[in-house]
A and B are shown apart, each in its own frame.
Chain A
């Protein structure tokens, strides 16, 4: 295979992996604090349509990204209110968030179908982007790719090396004990789910402003659900999320290049979904689950009087 093709596939791998990475990093925080949010797909698609619409209005894609982050965060508050404050069923609430987001985004986006938008410019990092082979793959992207990469060590560091991280993890492991030690369980969970919402919103913005710079109804096409699986795959660790997201990004990128070989499009399109199932099988046996450190209180609402 020619070098240029390899370069283009690997570059595309990073681009396709970026929304997955952003979403997964956020969901890791939500789940580490004990809240399962199945609404990622809904927050992501709302982020996509918000980013697109606000970029059309303002002409500035960064306003679009900020708006998408805000909307993702707002959406997550609905889930937090139902699952943390009202102690409702997290699975149903998350599903509802996804359906609501898919529906509302269709309504909002109806007038934007077929329009084009000023996409986020590529920003080649001086000097580094000139490195042969690696330069064009890693250092010729837009800022969101670099931002997502920077978030990996930062979010890892916060989660495992700081007081805040200890609080988050203890709230997800044993909220009653954390409460006794003076950690504000409700606030911690709200903030973590909010972080997840903001990042899912930005992931959506990446889809509609960079990856396919247009608005298509339902354009997330299950990426939010792949994020849920990647969160398990990453064993709730931001560093592993990078591996998982790029692995899936790679499958996405390879699709385009396998098409000319005569493999039907729809068969190729099954790959990421099949892969998700396989990955899930590899990491979810209960014995392994305990070993890899799944948050013990994941999905269980916390109430003081029920200690």
Chain B
């Protein structure tokens, strides 16, 4: 008997979907084994996660609350990854978006909502886009590895935020907590009653998902982004300006992460403070990859990971597990998805 591994042509959609599902299930099983080893009953842990995420209307509403920033970050990252630009910096871009929006909210508290909220979204987009443009520019002009630069900028953004809320922006009404003052009512996003769902941001996310889908499949720019991703050499011969594409995908992915940051401060916390993101920007990397960079896939994956985050909060409280367990899930899922690609690219043949 001989085992032979052969390369296959492009995998079918069904095969690709099956392998992805299989990968996620294997990851969950592995995590179950780790839970068991740790002395936590995996069945009860998963039950709690599922119930906490999707078991009640309230759970669903909280899952959607987490879905909003995840969706915004990951559809943007999807575009960057399509061009094989490794923007790992959505976390920092989100924080900067939150910071610039807060700057507007604190300086123009008396503007009416109808002009203040759009201004906050625009400034958040610009903030995130600029934070994305820095590594984009360094990549385009100096070929600096964007993985490192975007990551370093995450740490810098985090420290900038801390500096602001511990220092110059520290709220006078906040009893020494590292918070800014609460936003004026006109700087707060409306919510669906009895939930924390700030629906304007959700709508923006859904609309942008559709728009980016159209951009990627129906426009010349989308075509150029895809060509750059498939082969940088080929794009050169096709006369595509590679540097321009880098800057554009960084503006899109950074700007969208910035919008997510606006949603968090204007829709959830109504102030800027430390810890507004429990790692949305990092989780979005997996969602973009898991959704195979396809907007519909990304939407579904965002809801699932939103649920995982809410469920993760639940087991943190009820089973006393640290929140970082979510990171473990994320890592495992990513391992199996990237391994699963092997199954898609190769066929294993057994000959007698």
Contact = CB atoms under 8 A, between A and B. Distances in A.
B142 A284 contact: yes
B325 A103 contact: yes
B314 interface: no
A132 interface: no
Nearest to A94: B147
Contacts of A284: 142-145
A118 interface: no
Given A280-B145, A281-B142, A100 B327 contact: yes
Given A87-B342, A92-B289, A274-B156, A100 B145 contact: no
19 contacts: A92-B334, A93-B334, A97-B331, A97-B335, A99-B327, A99-B328, A100-B327, A103-B326, A103-B329, A104-B328, A218-B324, A221-B155, A222-B151, A266-B160, A266-B163, A269-B155, A270-B159, A274-B152, A286-B143
Interface string A100-129: 111111110010000000000000000000
Interface stretch (A149-157, A162-170, A225-233): A225-233
A130 to B, nearest CB: 41
Given A102-B324, A266-B162, A284-B143, A82 B149 contact: no
A86 B342 contact: yes
Given A266-B166, A281-B138, A107 B331 contact: no
Given A103-B327, A103-B331, A107-B321, A264 B148 contact: no
B334 A99 contact: yes
B34 A107 contact: yes
Nearest to A88: B338
A276 interface: yes
Given A82-B339, A86-B342, A107-B34, A91 B331 contact: no
Given A102-B327, A107-B324, A286-B143, A267 B159 contact: yes
Nearest to B164: A266
B10 interface: no
A88 B339 contact: yes
A91 B147 contact: yes
Contacts of A264: 163, 166-167
B155 A103 contact: no
Nearest to A274: B156
Interface string B310-345: 000000000011111111111110110111011001
B324 A100 contact: no
A277 interface: yes
Nearest to A275: B152
Interface string A264-299: 101101100110110011001110010000000000
A95 interface: yes
A217 interface: yes
B285 interface: yes
Nearest to B334: A96
A287 to B, nearest CB: 9
Interface in A65-107: 78, 82, 86-89, 91-93, 95-107
Interface residues of B, number: 49
Interface string A251-270: 00000000000001011011
Nearest to A303: B7
B86 interface: yes
A253 to B, nearest CB: 18
Contacts of A42: 331
Given A103-B327, A225-B148, A270-B156, A96 B142 contact: no
A87 B147 CA distance: 20
Nearest to B283: A99
B38 interface: yes
A21 interface: no
A99 B148 contact: no
Given A87-B345, A284-B143, 4 more contacts: A96-B332, A103-B331, A225-B151, A280-B145
Nearest to B134: A277
Given A38-B147, A102-B324, A225-B151, A82 B142 contact: no
Interface in B180-210: none
Q: Which 10 A-B pairs have the closest CB atoms?
A: A100-B331, A103-B328, A106-B324, A103-B327, A96-B334, A99-B331, A266-B163, A86-B342, A273-B152, A266-B159
A284 B149 CA distance: 12
B246 to A, nearest CB: 14
Contacts of B289: 92
A84 to B, nearest CB: 12
A104 B331 CA distance: 9
A164 to B, nearest CB: 28
B282 interface: yes
B117 interface: no
Residue of A96, A105, A273 with most partner-chain B CB within 10 A: A96
A89 B167 CA distance: 42
A286 B140 CA distance: 12
Contact of B148 (A87, A96, A218, A228): A228
Contacts of A228: 147-148
Nearest to A102: B327
Contact of A78 (B86, B138, B324, B335): B335
Nearest to A36: B147
A88 B340 CA distance: 9
Contacts of B166: 264, 266
A2 B191 CA distance: 60
Given A87-B342, A97-B331, A107 B322 contact: yes
Interface string B2-17: 0000010000000000
B88 interface: yes
A294 to B, nearest CB: 11
Contacts of A96: 330-332, 334-335, 338
Contacts of A103: 324-331
B48 to A, nearest CB: 16
B159 A269 contact: yes
